[in-house]
Structure 1
Amino acid sequence: MAPKEPLSFLETTFRSIYPQDFDFRQQAENRLKQLTMPLWAMGDLMDLAVDLAGMTGSLQPPVSRKKVVVMVGDHGVAAEGVSQYPAEVTTQMVHNIARGGAAISVLADKAGADVLVVDIGGRDDFTELAEAGKILSKKIGRGTANMSYGPAMTRTHAVMAVEAGIEVAQSLADEVDIFATGEMGIGNTTPSTAIAAVFTGKKVSDLTGRGTGLDDAGLKHKIAVIEKALARNTPNAKEGLDVLAKVGGFEIGGIAGLILGAASRRKPVVVDGFISAAGAMIACSLEPFVRDYIICAHRSAEPGHLALLEKLQQRPLLDLNLRLGEGTGAALAMPLVDGAAALLTDMATFAEAGVAQA
């Protein structure tokens, strides 16, 4: 009998991902039903508490050590004028995050979360930031190719992007209780909309938003660019890596990998907005059980985000009309995760408190 070929890194990761622990879900649900309040009075937070128990396999789910991972990638399609901002703003904003001046910097700090910036596919180098320990380099390429003329990247590079995200999650897993996804990449609502169109089957015109603030003419042009990219590349919805390679982005692949890697270590992942949801969609297409470890932070103002959330069967914790990205929505949702865990671990039951039940 011929020897078996060794499993790939991706396949090994997939085989490490299991559904939530049903027994701990049941124990958590039983305890929550006995808390000193009307039955399930804290609604979605109690559902989240059950999820946390199932994800972590514990009635004391650890959530104190938080890490927002901001994946960085530039996009060739930005040359088509699909964003209000020029491509060099990606680099400028990476430096802003590293200095602590960005929205994600201040919101993560308030949530008690650390921020890690990972260069997956930025156009420029960040040598000084890397040497100062303010950015982790996992660079695969200097931005994607222009997907309106051909694939955004090779399949090999798509695999490398996902693997890089897995490596980040697994290298941090021993020191992080809960991950959050973030991103920085001018033009990235365009590939995210393309990904949403592929997986949901909805019309591009129904999914495309204004991104950084396009006017009506800019929105119409953005729709045409996405439609052209999909027609030229014909991504296969049954092949997540094919979709990522043809109309995705390096940071989207990195987000997918981060989610996969976190799930392989039974770590919850708070998924931010539209671009992060596109990464989550890629991750779930590769290994469906990864859905059990996703906490959807919020519903953004981008129409494609709602379509992806419905496809992923996820209910957002917040709806604040956000459209920034960076991981900001995930940072805002972190205190809700803390609250859900606290209900399970700190609140008294009727018996413990000596309170009569109805």
Structure 2
Amino acid sequence: MTTNAEKSPFADFEELLSLLPHGSEQAVETVRARDAQLTKPAGSLGELEKMVEHLARWQEKGEPTLNNPMVAIFAGNHGVTKQGVSAFPPEVTTQMVANFTNGGAAISQICALNELNLRVFELALELPTEDFTQAAAMDDKTCAATVAYGMEAIAGKPDLLCIGEMGIGNTTSAAAIYAALFGGTGTDWVGRGTGVDDEGLSRKVSAVDRGLALHAEHMKTPFDALARVGGREIAAMAGAIIAARHNKIPVIVDGFVATAAAAVVYAANPMALDHCLFAHQSAEAAHSDVLQKMGKKPLFDLGMRLGEGSGAALAASIVKTALHVHQNMATFEEAAVAGQMKN
């Protein structure tokens, strides 16, 4: 018999992932009924029509909205940078967070142009995780607390949540998470990230392999893997995904690192990502592999590997366009255009 004292710090999240809302099929039917009356051939807007249906299903509204779309960037620092796995020093994380806030980053400009609310969540930047080649990146309680913190990202009640990240060294943590969840070695999952040279790439592979070997006996659940080889920003993004599902908020997931957070949630319950769209296929080669393993299709592939939510924000601009068209196109009756013959 398990007592409260023996309860896993992750038990509440696992319970939430076992009790998932299923969305509203009725809301989808309402969207399809209007779509059938719009001045276009049925299905001619392809994926744009499916995007509106996705919003309706997970907002559980036959008339979905995008009045408060939010891009949430989670920033954390990583002890594994001590292994020489990045082309940039750890202090760049803090510097880029300031750049986001001051409007100088790519994501800042994408959000400004497309009227997306940009929020940046700093996760103890002065306190990097432990070097996972030497110890657990986070103890279980710290990891659980960070997942819970990520759940609070929806406090502003967005009607669409786009998740992204910033963290020097985090492509190494993401690769280690993928290997822990789906098998394989560092070679299978590691890429060049911010642009490391061949020696840096070799160090990344070695770091992942050593981390996997060190923690092999302690990664029995997806959340165990997150704590052992993950990062604070990845844990917080996982929390945001879980909270969004339970609060009728569709999610757009960014690239290689953000997908690692989604992969943790998927490994706990494959249906837990049904409310998520995946923005793009990263130029980081292994991203296509993990998307395929999870049965997810990215909306586009523009060769991007910037992170910071940039792909998710671009995807949100497409979703906004899809909804605007759905809401504002004339029907056959309004435009006095002959529609399909009816029996």
Q: What is the TM-score of this pair, normalised by structure 2?
A: 0.90
> Retained in 1: the 8 A contact 2:165–2:258?
yes
CA distance in 1, matches of 2:19, 2:103: 35
Shift of 1:160: 0.9
Task: Find the partner of 1:27 among 27, 30, 45.
Answer: 30
Secondary structure of the residue aligned to 1:148 is: coil
2:84 to 78, 81, 86: 81
Correspondence for 2:197 = 215
Task: Tell me the CA shift for residue 199 of structure 1.
Answer: 2.4
User: Given the alignment, which residue of 210, 220, 243 partners 1:228?
Assistant: 210
Q: Check the 8 A contact 1:198/1:236 in 2, yes or no.
A: no
CA deviation after TM superposition for structure 1 residue 30, in Å: 3.9
For 2:130, the aligned partner's letter is: A
> Cα 1:352–1:236, aligned 2, differ >3 Å: closer, same or farther?
farther
> Which residue number in structure 2 is paired with residue 134 of structure 1?
none
Corresponding residue number in structure 2 for 1:241: 223
Residue 148 (structure 2) pairs with residue 163 (structure 1): yes
Shift of 1:236: 6.8
* Residue identity matched to 2:149: A
Aligned positions, number:
335
- The match for 2:114 is 111
1:56 partnered with 2:56:
no
SS of the aligned residue for 1:234 comes to helix
When normalised by structure 1's length, the TM-score is: 0.86
How far apart in 1 are the matches of 2:182 and 2:338?
Answer: 49
- Contact 1:107/1:332 (<8 A) preserved: yes
Q: CA deviation at 1:31?
A: 3.3
| Cα distance, 1:14 vs structure 2 | 4.1
CA distance in 2, matches of 1:236, 1:20: 35
Distance 1:32 1:222, change over 3 A: same
Equivalence for 1:151: 136
Instruction: Provide Cα deviations, 1:69-92, integer angstroms capped at 9, x if missing partner.
Output: 111110000110100001111111
Match of 2:41 in 1: 38
Contact 1:196 1:307 in 2 (8 A): no
Shift in Å at residue 242 of structure 1?
Answer: 0.4
Q: Any conservation in 2 of the 1:190–1:226 contact (CA below 8 Å)? A: yes
What does residue 324 of structure 1 align with? Answer: 306
CA contact (8 A) 1:60 1:344 kept: no
Which of 10, 16, 20 in structure 2 is aligned with 1:17? 20
Q: For the residues of structure 2 that align with 1:239 and 1:104, how far apart are their CA atoms?
A: 33
Distance verdict in 2 for CA 1:35–1:198, change over 3 Å: farther
Q: Which amino acid aligns with 2:273?
A: R
- Contact 2:31–2:63 (CA<8 Å) still a contact in 1? no
Q: Paired residue for 1:268?
A: 250
Mapped to 2, the partners of 1:328 and 1:69 lie a distance apart of 11
Mean alpha-carbon deviation: is it higher for 200-209 or for 246-255? 200-209
Instruction: Write out per-residue CA displacement over residues 273-315 of structure 1, whole angstroms, 9 at most, x where no aligned residue.
Output: 1111111112233454431221211111112221222233222
C-alpha distance after superposition, 1:52-100 (max 9, x if no partner)? 1101111221113122111111000011010000111111111221222
Indicate how the Cα distance of structure 1 residues 306 and 320 shifts in structure 2: closer, same or farther if over 3 A, else same: same
Confirm whether residue 65 of structure 1 aligns to residue 47 of structure 2: no
Partner Cα separation in structure 2 for residue 344 and residue 33 of structure 1: 11
1:243 to 1:354, Cα distance in 2 relative to 1, 3 A: same
More off after superposition, 67-76 vs 33-42: 33-42
Provide the C-alpha distance between the structure 2 equivalents of 1:161 and 1:284, rounded to a whole number of angstroms.
Answer: 18
Measured on the aligned residues, the alpha-carbon RMSD in Å equals 2.4
